[in-house]
Structure 1
């Protein structure tokens, strides 16, 4: 077996250890009970192949398994449904041995045919089961239509992937929740409702989804891996961050994400609440739609980049857990370009750029912000208001708008907004997962048509030499700074809060925690 060597992975693992927990991880282990997790919004859907948001993919980690998975609180890989794998010398053939005796929640057997069925569903637009969404992770994030030639069933427990071109992060991509294995039998019973009837092999079985209220899962007592310590998991939707914190203090939920920075300070003084920090494998950004004027003019985008005091906003609104992002990747990742200067706040320079672009008196634009808090934007409305105040100083009037989270993501993908806030939490610790996802295809709200950048990104993706990849990504980052297709805002150490009786939770840099680790010391 050939093992990839990467810069970013070991660093991410170290970060996971560095940003640890105030919650003790060891005492007399309790079993049973219901674990209630509070979050800001509903999932968009529960079919992992066709969703892109962290709210939805959280459930993939509970209900499903991937062939390969991440090892605890790191981005190192370990076997999951595939117990081992071999890679050919040319990197074009991956042969995986599958775990025996695994069953889907509907009682049907997991085998190589089920694996092929899923990959055929994701990758073949003519497949009758290629329904439910755009398969954006398969198409744009992993870029597998250009990589995977075919998937062969060798025998019941052996599957072979034949590639058109080598892909450096192929195994890392295989661990993404979007590539969870769905029961073919259950899917084919009701394809159109798969997003509401998820059936996998994972440690939890889906029970119900009450939109706007909760998703309920029960422990899979026949799970092939680590069986859950709790009997049931309930993920409650509480849109308002402050209301969610009050629910935690009252004990009606056991743990929460989407924490207001001010509430972290309050939690520090409460011995009944523990604080955990997720490592900063993320980026908040402003995206410019270059198909809409005036954002097709690089001078307008550059005016935003120097006309917003990002440091002041991060200092005021991130509670000491954010750092200004000068590139679209954190500074410890492969390809971070230390020779770039970043964007220096300069109101006069911003006004001159606007004047040179034909807007000496500025202009008015819609400015869209997210309706839910996410790790990279802890309070999006408040941050949007701060952006608007900064833009007003250089003559731009930002008319703030938002809409329902699912509709917001759809509009962002379909290039309906002129300028909008969004962000990204890394899926696997590899730079490809950031830069290729953002700029390698026409999907995902990317309107930057830069052939040089795309060629560099494809070359980096196909290389197994990390020195070469580092050089290529540095060149891409230089092009991004010059043309500003998206303006990076912040990288965030993401707080999570839990009642002190919640034990065992280890935040993952990629947010891929299975709740099986949790137990309640009540």
Structure 2
């Protein structure tokens, strides 16, 4: 067992009727229209998430939220990081959205929708009278413009990035055939193949509707000048310092209680906590476990917990030797004492991840034994692979804390200490967050730390995103797994999907394309006067819910 001192530590077919949220894998039911619990109810019962309830509202003021890093960009279609997508939830709207702190769906810019019997045609009726922040009208033409921009590489507006959510997460190039503006307030989606989580994917922040007029006015700066229909208007972004938004008084939906929102970048977790204690910020994420304990004793600070819809993992680049050898990957799995690391570095809010999805999700395979810590077995695997004396490798870790890795440098040091015991020397390296994400997507690192916060509560959003395409750092070339994932994605039968995902999880355990580390209940800290904040398992929280009692 690894001691704490070794590491130098201190003291997220009628689809309108089907909820695709979390499932109890032991209680799969036959009728899809009665399937599943709402996310908030299930998770509150299972994990006891603390949710504040306010009895009266105040209005006005500035809400200041502290976080670890800058957004990579503010054009939702071309970003994948949570820091960036946080702003999509404030500045933009999607056609469909999540209901409060659950993954149940509700209307947004689309007020209703119908699905054909074969699941290949979705017809949506749009809200009337909605305007973008630049004053232009939202209509079906604007919806078509956005989908054409995202999905057509030949479109002149298909610029700014890789559109990874469209291509690799939702897999819409293989699903959407065309989008038609039937009339001003009707849009029709014509599909090549049915997709079980189609509407859930529609609610993802990456598919926020951008003002066509604003984008075409200055396409090169779209990622720095976001214009949507959301409850907040963009004011300014000072890199390394803050992003400022102001309340949209003309918003069609629930208007903000506060006048302004400032999201401040404070990279160091401890410095951010000191800023919270001093009152220079009102709320923060990226909390050190030790600081949670300190906050418990401070009556001026409240603790909220976001349910654990996430996974931390180590990714192996199988295009680089020796990680193309399954025995090397299996040696990592056997040689890292994940339980000891989670116990020491997650402050009681992490559980060891035995699969790439939490154990309450569709397709979790209860018949798998998981990865067992066994130093002798790890050394034998290395010897069998031709490395009896081990080897040296770069090992990349994230420069910013994320919910699944609360202190990535510290955890990387723990991994390195464990690997040293089996003969592997891990040379720890990092780089700027935006560059880190780019390098991970482009398969530049031999082995690296990363994680995923679920977007919609569906297993497809984890397993297909990780292993269903060639994007997103996936170098696992397993045709059987990909066929199973596509079949599960196209199915509208959750019993069938559960069986298919179980098979995929068995293949993952056998070949270890990524090593799951932990699932985390994510703490958020707020001054006691911050009221109304409801943590969402997918992290899609709108600041409109917040009011300041001061």
Tell me the TM-score normalised to structure 1 length: 0.98
Q: Deviations over 1:84-121 (max 9, x none)?
A: 00000000000000000000000000000000000000
Q: Distance in 2 between matches of 1:184 and 1:157?
A: 16
Is the Cα–Cα contact under 8 Å of residues 39 and 103 in structure 2 kept in the other structure? no
Is the Cα–Cα contact under 8 Å of residues 69 and 175 in structure 1 kept in the other structure? yes
Indicate the RMSD between aligned Cα atoms, in angstroms.
Answer: 1.7
Q: Distance in 2 between matches of 1:191 and 1:71?
A: 32
Aligned match for 1:451, one of 460, 479, 504:
479
* Greater mean alpha carbon deviation, residues 22-31 or residues 239-248: 22-31
DSSP-derived class of the 1:376 partner: coil
* Greater mean alpha carbon deviation, residues 351-360 or residues 8-17: 8-17
Is the Cα–Cα contact under 8 Å of residues 9 and 74 in structure 1 kept in the other structure? no
> CA 1:12 to 1:397, structure 2 compared with 1: closer, same or farther past 3 Å?
farther
By how many angstroms is 1:29 displaced? 1.1
Is the Cα–Cα contact under 8 Å of residues 8 and 334 in structure 1 kept in the other structure? no
Is the Cα–Cα contact under 8 Å of residues 16 and 507 in structure 1 kept in the other structure? no
Q: Distance in 1 between matches of 2:417 and 2:132?
A: 53
By how many angstroms is 1:26 displaced? 1.6
Q: Deviations over 1:133-170 (max 9, x none)?
A: 00000000000000000000111000000000000000
Q: Distance in 2 between matches of 1:245 and 1:8?
A: 38
Q: Distance in 2 between matches of 1:104 and 1:298?
A: 51
Is the Cα–Cα contact under 8 Å of residues 23 and 500 in structure 1 kept in the other structure? no
Q: Deviations over 1:396-428 (max 9, x none)?
A: 000000000000000000000000000000000
> CA 1:339 to 1:7, structure 2 compared with 1: closer, same or farther past 3 Å?
farther
By how many angstroms is 1:28 displaced? 2.8
Is the Cα–Cα contact under 8 Å of residues 20 and 276 in structure 1 kept in the other structure? no
Q: Deviations over 1:455-495 (max 9, x none)?
A: 00000000000000000000000000000000000000000
Is the Cα–Cα contact under 8 Å of residues 68 and 268 in structure 2 kept in the other structure? yes
Is the Cα–Cα contact under 8 Å of residues 303 and 523 in structure 2 kept in the other structure? yes
Q: Distance in 1 between matches of 2:38 and 2:99?
A: 12
DSSP-derived class of the 2:398 partner: coil
Q: Distance in 1 between matches of 2:103 and 2:31?
A: 14
By how many angstroms is 1:11 displaced? 4.7
Is the Cα–Cα contact under 8 Å of residues 7 and 333 in structure 1 kept in the other structure? no
| Number of aligned positions between the proteins | 522
By how many angstroms is 1:10 displaced? 3.1
* Greater mean alpha carbon deviation, residues 162-171 or residues 2-11: 2-11
By how many angstroms is 1:27 displaced? 3.1
- Determine if the alignment matches structure 1 residue 245 to structure 2 residue 273: yes
Is the Cα–Cα contact under 8 Å of residues 181 and 188 in structure 2 kept in the other structure? yes
Is the Cα–Cα contact under 8 Å of residues 282 and 526 in structure 2 kept in the other structure? yes
Which segments of 5 or more consecutive residues in structure 1 lack a partner in the other structure?
A: none
Is the Cα–Cα contact under 8 Å of residues 44 and 53 in structure 1 kept in the other structure? yes
Is the Cα–Cα contact under 8 Å of residues 426 and 509 in structure 1 kept in the other structure? yes
> CA 1:483 to 1:398, structure 2 compared with 1: closer, same or farther past 3 Å?
same
Tell me the TM-score normalised to structure 2 length: 0.93
DSSP-derived class of the 1:9 partner: coil
